[in-house]
Amino acid sequence: MRYCARVDSIEPGSIAEELGIEKGDIICRINDTDIVDFLDYQFLSTEEEIVLLVEKASGEQIEFEIVNEAGEDLGIRFANMLFDSPKRCRNQCIFCFIDQLPRGMRDSLYFKDDDSRLSFLYGNYVTFTNMREEDINRLIRYRISPINVSIHTTNLDLREKMLHNKNARNVLQYCRMLKENHISMNMQIVLCKGINDSFELEKTLFDLSEFVPELESVSVVPVGLTAYRYGLFPLEPFTPQDAEKVLSQIEAWQKKYKKLYGTRLVYASDEFYILAGRSIPRAEEYEDFPQIENGVGMLSNLEDEVMQALEKPYRPGEVKKTVIATGELAYPYIRELVDRVAAYYPVWAEVVMIKNNFFGGGVSVAGLLCGQDLINQLSGKQFERLLITKSMLKADEDIFLDDITVEELEQKLGVTCEPVANDGTSFVKALINA
């Protein structure tokens, strides 16, 4: 037995500190169950009576008996929440974005995960193709909820072809197991023109009603296509007319679901509305924004938060020549938000639409912009500071997808770069230099 449940730190004043557990110790077992990953630890450590087996750096194993009636956090922190490597995706999806990446990027960007633990911990979407029935039962036993599922289609023959994996046919069986045990689910459909749209989308949205109320939301997002689809399945981008058709289908189903279940349930990503030349729906039409991280209602939510932020008084700082760099998708909306802020505060800001030459194709979201495109398209402009969204950067490091750092960007452009969180208050305060 040698798992990687190695202690990284101990919270001061915690139960673990009182017991003398230290950094570098290994949590081996709780109540006769080997600790394989964070899910084991998370749920077993909240039981009232705990027998905790710890291995010290010397190799000595110590057993602690703990009475934890309040379900208190033991205070143990881990550097790696999985304790092992993420489960690698075994699919060969016709729409996989990673298969479309240019060469020469850092290795971690080419890793495809398909791990239900990451679904719980970080909101990742899983296909269930690398899971067995006992894995689903483990999720049920620990009450892991919600689970985010990449469903794509309920036509199992088609799903198998889209994912190139015979295990793709298990998805409805596993979703039924989750529903029967009242585990919540969110689902996403990556829509591919001529593949799972039109009649197939209609069938999928009809079939998914089986999983309500445990099914809390469904997002429909267009397939992302880069310029690097060499030798891959031929896919076409959606036209404005296609997008209008998709939105009409989704809105019809929203009305049905609202009447039957009191929720719209299915939502289109912002990209479809922009492509169709439609206004983004109002914030209340997204209910509680169940899939905002999937690009569903993000712009509407940002607008709503900006207007709320403007109701509060801020002390603006020195007015500096500011450039806000964003993608083609959000450009007109960010311009409008800047105008709204400028009606309240003195602002000198230019919104610049950055074309994604790094990925090419139809990639237009701000979060996939790279440092070299910012440098190439902003060089020569006279300004003092640059605002970008934090979603352009690695989660734990100020580095773009093309490995250019924020510091390098600042040096090349000769300006200060400020990554801004994707919320209305942060946007307003950054814009007015509060």
Taken in order 282, 288, 291, 294, is the CA torsion positive or negative?
positive
Report pTM. 0.86
Same domain membership, residue 245 and residue 129 = yes
Q: Identity (one letter) of the amino acid at 203?
A: K
3-state SS of 299-318 is: HHHHHHHHHHHCCCCCCCCC
- Bigger pLDDT: 124 vs 187: 187
Residues of the chain with pLDDT > 90, as a percent, come to 71
280 and 143 in a single domain? The answer is yes
Specify whether 44 is located in the same domain as 187: no
Q: Could you list the residue range(s) of the whole structural domain that residue 65 is in?
A: 7-78
Task: Please give the pLDDT value at position 1.
Answer: 41
Residue 382 pLDDT class (50, 70, 90 cuts): very high
The larger pLDDT score, comparing residue 57 to residue 322, is at 322
Kindly report the average pLDDT of the chain as a whole number.
91
Same domain? For 260 and 286 the reply is yes
Residue 91 lies in a domain: no
Q: What is the CATH number of the domain that holds 198?
A: 3.80.30.10
Q: Is residue 89 part of a domain?
A: no
Same domain for 72 and 173: no
Domain boundary among 244, 274, 294: 294
385 in the same domain as 347: yes
Q: Does 90 map to a domain?
A: no
Residue 86 forms part of a structural domain: no
Q: Answer yes or no: do 61 and 110 share one domain.
A: no
Residue 168 sits in the same domain as residue 286: yes
Give how many domains the chain has, as a whole number. 3
Residues ≥6 apart with Cβ < 8 Å to 390: 419, 420, 421, 422
198 φ, ψ (degrees, to nearest 5): 50, -120
Give the residue from 268, 294, 320 where a domain finishes.
294
Query: Residue 243: what pLDDT?
Result: 97
What band does 86 get if pLDDT is binned at 50, 70 and 90? Answer: low
pLDDT of 84? 64
pLDDT of residue 47 exceeding 90, the answer is no
Quickly state the pLDDT bin for 34 (edges 50, 70, 90).
confident
Regarding whether 377 and 410 lie in a shared domain, the answer is yes
> Cβ contacts of residue 10 below 8 Å, gap of 6+?
16, 17, 21, 22, 23, 75, 76, 77
Tell me, yes or no, whether 167 lies in a domain: yes
pLDDT, average across residues 269-280: 95
Q: What CATH number corresponds to the domain at position 35? A: 2.30.42.10
Q: Are residues 264 and 315 in the same domain?
A: no
The average pLDDT across 162-181 equals 96
- Range from 89-98, 151-160, 240-249, 352-361 carrying the lowest mean pLDDT: 89-98
The pLDDT of residue 117 is above 70: no
Q: Note whether 194 and 213 are same-domain residues.
A: yes
Is 156 among the domain residues? yes
Considering the domain boundaries, does residue 281 fall inside one? yes
pLDDT of residue 42: 80
CA distances to 22, 34, 41, 330, 359 from 30, rounded to whole Å, are: 17, 7, 8, 49, 47
> Considering the domain boundaries, does residue 154 fall inside one?
yes
Do 180 and 260 have their domain in common?
yes
Q: Which of 271, 294, 317 is the C-terminal boundary of a domain?
A: 294
